[in-house]
Amino acid sequence: MRAGKSGPAESRCARLMESPQDAAASLMRAGKSGPAEARCARFMESPQDAAASLMRAGNSGPAGARFVESYCFPKTARILRSSDFRKVYEAGARIAGPYFAAFCLRVERDSGGPRLGFTAGRAFGRAVKRNRAKRRIREALRVRLPEMASQWDIVVNPRRLVLEASPEQLRREVDRLVSKCANS
């Protein structure tokens, strides 16, 4: 982009960077994928998949957005302290798979749901790859969060293969993790 010039491609790119939901709705309204979408692809994995996901969820985009509480990943569902991570690593059952290794620990708690934690070390790759892998697994688990028993703390370590996995493959692997945690 030249200094002082802002064309339609740049304004579309700015809209895409605001939020994935806004970007997906914008792409669906535009009905095309142009140079702005290509430049901004690093901010979202697949604009069409994001838009399709929003449409399936019943969210029509920023104008008539209906955000349901179950679509968020609340802080109460996260493992945040390093001491909690350490407990799960040391005392939890390890469940290995092609896309991630998970540690499940049964914890007695009165209220709330299961808690999830995600870790990816520097050996995984640069921060962009680490964060993308964690986002993909977090979303697959977030969808299953209401179905999981509340007594679990789960820490997930993604593997590099998760970056190439399809959403369907990730969903199957998460289903396997949830069933193994319930049986252990």
Task: Using alpha carbons, list the distances in angstroms from residue 119 to 51, 87, 155.
Answer: 28, 14, 7
- 3-state helix/strand/coil string of 53-117: HHHHHCCCCCCCCCCCHHHCCCHHHECCCHHHHHHHHHHCEEEECCCEEEEEEECCCCCCCCEEE
Task: Please tell me the predicted confidence (pLDDT) of residue 146.
Answer: 83
Architecture of domain 75-183: 2-Layer Sandwich (3.30)
pTM (two decimals): 0.61
Q: At what angle do helices 127-144 and 167-183 cross, to 10 degrees?
A: 60
1-46, pLDDT tens digit by residue? Answer: 444 444 444 444 444 344 455 555 554 555 544 444 333 333 334 5
User: What are the structural domain ranges in the chain?
Assistant: 8-67, 75-183
